[in-house]
Amino acid sequence: MSDDAAATAPAAAVPAGAAPLTRGQDQLPALRAARAVLKQQLKESTKEIRKEPNHIAGCGGSSARLLAAVAAVAAAAGYGGCSWMQRLWRLLLAVAVARGCGGCGGCGSLVDAGAYSDLELYTQRPLGLLVDGHVLPLAASAAVAVGESHACEAGPAEAEIVDAANAALAEAVDNDGHENADAAIRWQLLSKYKAVQGLVAAVIREKSDEELHNISINIILDDIQAKASNKISMSELLEEKDEFVAATMSAVPKELSRRLLLAVNKPQAHARRPAQIDSQCVQKTYLLTFSNLDPSNAPTRETILETVLQAFGAAGYGLDVCVTHACVFRETHGSGQWHFHVPTALSHPCRWVGWKKELSKAGYIAHFANMAIDYHSKHRKMQYAHMLRYLWLPSDMKGLSALDKDPLLWCSGGRKHPPLLDAINGVLDSTAIEEKVAERFLQRWSAGKRGPCKFSDLELWPIVKELGLTADDPVLLAKLLQHGRNSGNERLLNYLFRTNNTIREKVAMCCTLESCDRVIADSQTTTWKRVTAALGRQCCCDRTWAPEAREILRNNNIEEGKLCQHLRQALMLGMQKKGDAVCFTGSGNEGKSFILKPLREIFQRVFACPARGSYPLLHLPQSQVVILDDWRPDHGALDVSRFPSV
């Protein structure tokens, strides 16, 4: 057969076993054009192969040479990735195997060399072709074509393969049969500019503002490929990388501007709403919701609270983890059903999954959430307070009539839960005060009030803590003025000019406010517990005090055990109206003060020597222990002979 005849032979009928293909009407012109180009290139390749019969080493059949030429031309022209070209490749392989071609491995060599490298694409589907009355599975035919290595016999005329090619191309263009919905689309058939713009816009719409500020072209391409469900490869995307870069540089600023205008044009209230949490979340506060309960047989608030606490105890979090605060709010749906909200605060962070499982065992389906705080104050200790605000304060979404007017309040240890009016402010510390001041300023500014507000006494607390000030500091006022001047705090400077006469009292109050927990805990610790707790502290004398103190006692014939017994009794019993006092007497420089020196390290507040003046015992109530140094007793009132002599 001549070259022209081989290339332009009439299309043969599609084999009966071949699965038909489907293409959209908008793609038909492109497919017809591709068919014409492929036929022309097939004709030219056939001429070149005939001029060089040994072009494909080891393959003597003209059918195999023509088969390899079709694959090479299709891959070079970019048609290898579309479903109809895969179907054509299967058909040609099946025809070649049926006619005795393909045993030499020449076609497989060309495939392995890269003309059509991904052989798995067309061997995964169990389809078959009917050739000469025999059904050949495509997977088997492809394996035979590239895997076996027996001698290649003379193949059929070139016309049969050309007819099969024409039939497959005609089927791809004109037939409206079935096509696998998961097959890859043909990137070359899309309008590049519109497709790139649309893909980039779809990706950046799902990004947050922070992600858009840190976006890169690799992130864009990875997201497109991940969401395309294998309809496009990374190599095809990289071919249009410049277009994706240009589209990203244009689309990202537009998206950020759109979001900014949306935020400005739409006034947003301070959002305090429940936020979803995952199973790995570890929090100290949780908002539990029990929904769709029939009012006729719904549990009471007390039952809900008891069930929540029992389920938490059964979850096995440990004895040191407990619920410290909880409230039960009951609200009514529009459908008439009841639902309960239970904000809880815990002593230690823990996961919620075990808690939810125990509630399920008790017959309650609870939804766990936390609070999303969208404005300035994001203090972690404010989570429980914002849960109470969400449930107790009316808002645009919940009117006053829809809220629970008699919620159940509970606190652990038999303590009383703070009133909701106070509890919505949260646990206050110096950091929370700073955030509240900044939040109040932003609210005033957004309301159009540009002037500064007055500096309150409570705002002095964070500054005193930051600078480490004390009320008895001789340069207290100078340090505060310097801080206000250097930090630009004009409100603080105005406050100091107004209250300079009472500033020490206010600083003392701030110091007490900061240390109140420690002072209360310290006041509840006995004197002897402080002595025993000192055993765990690091030695401050390199272990030199004990040998020298024992030497002093031996030189003065004082029993160490007896002296320690008297000191222990004095520390445990404290001051008594009737009792013995431990006294050391001597003419001087015997080591009396040295023996009692460790007590000054253990007890930070020691009343040692009365001050001269009208009030010598003024600081006595604040002292932890009294050591009257250089005290000269009245021998007429006290019998010093009972004292241990040193």
CB 337 within 8 A of CB 290: no
Q: Which residue has the higher pLDDT, 88 or 439?
A: 439
**Higher-confidence position of 21 and 296:** 296
Q: How far is CA 458 from the centre of its chain?
A: 34
591 pLDDT exceeds 70? yes
Give the separation between CA 327 and CA 613, rounded to whole angstroms.
57
Task: Give the pLDDT confidence score for residue 7 in this predicted structure.
Answer: 37
Rounded-to-integer distance, Cα 12 and Cα 54, Å: 29
* Average pLDDT over all residues of the chain: 70
- Which residues are 160's β-sheet partners? none
Pairing label, strands 283-293, 134-137: unpaired
pLDDT of residue 377: 44
Domains of the chain with CATH codes: 3-184 (no CATH), 190-263 (no CATH), 284-423 (3.40.1310.20), 430-520 (no CATH), 535-642 (no CATH)
Average pLDDT over residues 98-113: 42
Check pLDDT > 50 for residue 66.
no
Rounded alpha-carbon distances, angstroms, from residue 353 to 325, 357, 360, 367, 451: 20, 6, 11, 11, 49
> Which region among 10-24, 207-221, 276-290, 372-386 has the lowest average model confidence (pLDDT)?
10-24
**pLDDT reading at 141 higher than 50:** no
CB 225 within 8 A of CB 234: yes
Is residue 59 scored above 80 in pLDDT?
no
Q: Is the pLDDT of residue 107 over 50?
A: no
- Highest-pLDDT range among 48-52, 128-132, 424-428, 507-511: 507-511
CA distances from 115 to 81, 89, 345, 458 (A): 12, 11, 66, 78
Provide the H-helix boundaries in 175-228. 192-204, 209-213, 217-227
Instruction: Identify the pLDDT of residue 496.
Output: 92
Q: How confident is the model at residue 164 (pLDDT cuts 50, 70, 90)?
A: low
pLDDT value at 575 more than 50: yes
Q: Is the pTM of this model over 0.85?
A: no
Each residue's pLDDT tens digit, 457-474 = 988 998 999 899 999 899
Identify residue 139 by its one-letter amino acid code. Answer: A
Q: How far is CA 219 from the centre of its chain?
A: 19
- Single out the residue of 105, 104, 90 nearest to residue 141, CA to CA: 90
Q: How confident is the model at residue 120 (pLDDT cuts 50, 70, 90)?
A: very low
Rank 5-9, 159-163, 541-545 by mean pLDDT and report only the highest: 541-545
Start-to-end C-alpha separation, the chain: 134
Q: 268 pLDDT exceeds 70?
A: no
Query: What does the H/E/C string look like for 162-185?
Result: HHHHHHHHHHHHHCCCCCCCCCCC
What does the pLDDT read at residue 517? Answer: 83
* Residue 28 neighbours by CB distance under 10 Å: 13
CA 549 to chain centroid, in Å, comes to 59
Residues in the chain: 646
* Assigned token pair, 235: 């190599």
Which of 7-11, 234-238, 249-253, 431-435 has maximum average pLDDT? Answer: 249-253
Say which residue, 591 or 104, is predicted with more confidence: 591
Coil, strand, or helix at residue 313? helix
pLDDT at res. 214: 83
Predicted local distance difference test score (pLDDT) of residue 27: 46
Where residue 269 falls (left for φ over 0; alpha for ψ -120 to 50; beta otherwise) is: beta
Strands 606-607 and 625-626: parallel
Q: How sure is the predictor about 276, in pLDDT bands with cuts at 50, 70 and 90?
A: low
* Nearest alpha-carbon partner for 458 in 395, 529, 506: 506
Q: How confident is the model at residue 417 (pLDDT cuts 50, 70, 90)?
A: very high
